[in-house]
Structure 1
Amino acid sequence: MTQFHRIERPRVAVTRKLLPQIEARMAELFDCRFNEDDHEMSADEIVEAMRDADILVPTVTDRIDAELIARAPASVKMFANFGAGVNHINLAAAKAKGILVTNTPGVFTDDTADLTMALILNVPRRLGEGHRLMRSGEWKGWTPIGMLGHRIGGKTLGIIGYGRIGEAVALRAKAFGLNILYNKRHRLPASVEDEMGVTFEPDLDRLVAKSDIISLHCPLTAETQKLMSRERIGMMKRDAYLINSSRGELVDEDALIEALTRGRIAGAGLDVYNHEPAIDPRFLAIPNVILLPHLGSATYEGREASGEKVIANIRIFSDGHRPPDQVLEGWA
């Protein structure tokens, strides 16, 4: 069994600027080193920040790879990640070095689901295009065939990855009259499917081909990299839409850009990209895509709750106990 040891006043390095009340609380409880100007830290800067630290608080913008972990001082015993996703952390390398990893699950579920639903509503009704038209001053008034989009009631929404966020999106989508197909590794019990009003589709290709709107909610892994490949994008209906508020790397962006440009699919709503913060400039010239700057978790409430979870994980760990949001099972 893993032995946890008490740390009287843990030394904590934080890689990005957090909400003022969170930083104030952390400074009260811990010996903290903050990123005062909120710049994206280089690997060398992160290693320097960890000097003499017990705990690192990274975020999704930090690449905590095997090379960086190898350079981490022996004093570092915990990565208390700010956020639920941990694909930016090499978990195997952390485990091998005896560094425990925690995250902040659940706090952004409703925020991300709300934003996803906003994209599901916005893209088929061409609200982004309409907004740009009004801003340009080129609108000539209402016409019977002007700016036509698609109603979503009665359409089929295919949810790929039916975890907390996928389920929250389904709850919202049902209220708008969408039929829900879902795909996940393990099927839900029939009673839960009936209660939620969702239908399991075990064949991902069939789900893609049947759906009018596809929404991605799976984690980024070796198996899900470019899950929406050129072949799968080619299976989509010509009047279908792709929504991605999960991870940019789930989509083959070259194939998506080609499909959008050629009118092979009707549109897309994106909150995440392959090489953030860089965005493929070809997206900017495509009218039927809404581009958002990774806003899925961007609420005061969510960011405060995530910070509180980070603090709770650090406090429990430094008190000599296993933190509640440990990511690495079987850590030793």
Structure 2
Amino acid sequence: MQAKILVAIPVFDAVLERLREHFDVEACGESAITERDELVARLQGKAGIFVAGTPRIDAALLDACPDLRAVCSMAVGFNNIDLAACTARRVLVSNAPGVLTETTADFGFALMMATARRIAESEHFLRAGQWTEWRYDLFAGADVHRATLGVLGMGRIGQAIARRGALGFGMPVIYHNRSRLDAGVEQQLGARWVDKPTLLREADHLVIVVPYSAESHHLIGAAELALMKPGATLTNVARGGVVDDAALAQALRERRIAAAGLDVFEGEPALHPDLLTVPNVVLTPHIASASLPTRRAMADLAADNLIAALGNGRNAGRPPTALNPEVLQKT
């Protein structure tokens, strides 16, 4: 008898068909499951769930869904999943790191460039029919080439962004991370570790790529923004909540920094209304990994994890990107 799973988000038809070869699949349809009560109801009798961003999977939900054995996400971030609670109940959790590194770095760099060069702001001006003459200062922004790139969070994606800046645009790269990179990696990237205040003071373009956690909540707030140069830009492709969006909107309105590019927001898909009232911000709806090849790779990896975690016989195995593989050990 096939294990039952819930696919809680819309996904590629080919991935659904692959899952149906191994499981009794209940798919969410055209819209993701966003209400907690619905998620609990539809998880009854299910051994696994295929997710990205869903209502929080925590101890209370797990206790209400006692058959659940695997939570497999096609996203990298897993702050919507209580890993400790899952581990305590021997529920396997997996994410999808690695496969989206280069695509997200492409987008992060593009968003930073659009922010620096005021692309969105100037497009709105043009579409509104306001362009009537050439002026020397018409939407004059900041240079990217040879400007100082600051990277907050030097994991896979941060390093990929640093490479683009250093090798492609001749940017001096400074970074701050909880742990310093090996000297050889720093040399390869042309990157210099600095403390956080120095990063904020010296960066012409700050790109944030840290994972979200209780420790990184509002890592960039009013005090941190006050340290930045008036001509600096801030780009967030990390997670909503890492930046205090209200404080950022105020800093942008008062021109205490030049501009910001945001792909993630606290409480998304809702966003702070003040961000919609300032012109010097580029807003995108959490699409940094949204190329078709990358999204397919993310979905396939989540399917690989589910099949390995819940499969029988030759289909059983070690999920390739398990976050708590110890739950698979026999007691």
Q: TM-score, normalised by structure 2?
A: 0.94
In the other structure, the counterpart of 2:44 is 51
Q: Decide which of 233, 242, 266 is 2:225's aligned counterpart.
A: 233
Which amino acid counterpart does residue 63 of structure 2 have in structure 1?
A
AA aligned opposite 2:122: G
**Structure 1 residue runs of 4+, over 6 Å off?**
none
1:326 aligned counterpart, secondary structure: coil
Match of 2:28 among 32, 35, 41: 35
The answer on whether the counterparts of 2:93 and 2:322 sit within 8 Å (CA) in structure 1 is yes
The verdict on how the C-alpha distance between 1:39 and 1:58 changes in structure 2, with shifts beyond 3 A counting, is closer
1:66 aligned partner = 59
Flag structure 2 segments of 5+ consecutive residues without an equivalent. none
Give the C-alpha shift of residue 329 in structure 1.
5.5
Deviations 1:170-197 (A, max 9, x none): 1111211211111112211212211111
Question: Which amino acid is the alignment partner of residue 321 of structure 1?
Answer: G
1:152-301 → structure 2 map (5 Å cutoff)? 152-174=144-166, 175-201=168-194, 203-301=195-293
The aligned counterpart of 2:84 is 92
Q: Which amino acid aligns with 1:142?
A: W
Question: 1:80 and 2:72 equivalent?
Answer: yes
2:246·2:272 contact (CA, 8 Å) conserved in 1? no
Contact 1:86 1:103 in 2 (8 A): yes
Greater Cα offset, 126-135 or 142-151 = 142-151
C-alpha contact (below 8 Å) 2:62/2:68 kept by paired residues? no
Amino acid at match of 1:156: T
* TM-score (normalizing by structure 1): 0.94
1:150: Cα distance to partner? 1.1
Tell me the SS of whatever aligns to 2:21: helix
Partner SS for 1:248 = coil
Letter in structure 2 aligned against 1:274: E
CA distance in 2, matches of 1:46, 1:120: 37
CA-CA distance at 1:87 after TM superposition: 0.7
Aligned residues: 323
Amino acid at match of 2:228: M
Q: Which moved more, 1:81-90 or 1:22-31?
A: 22-31
Equivalent residues of 1:19, 1:303 under 8 A apart: no
Q: Distance in 1 between matches of 2:52 and 2:138?
A: 44
- How far apart, in 1, do the equivalents of 2:55 and 2:19 lie? 20
The partner residue of 2:304 within 283, 306, 312 is 312
One of 319, 327, 330 as aligned partner of 1:323: 319
Considering Cα pairs closer than 8 Å and 6+ residues apart, tell me whether 1 or 2 has the greater RCO: 1
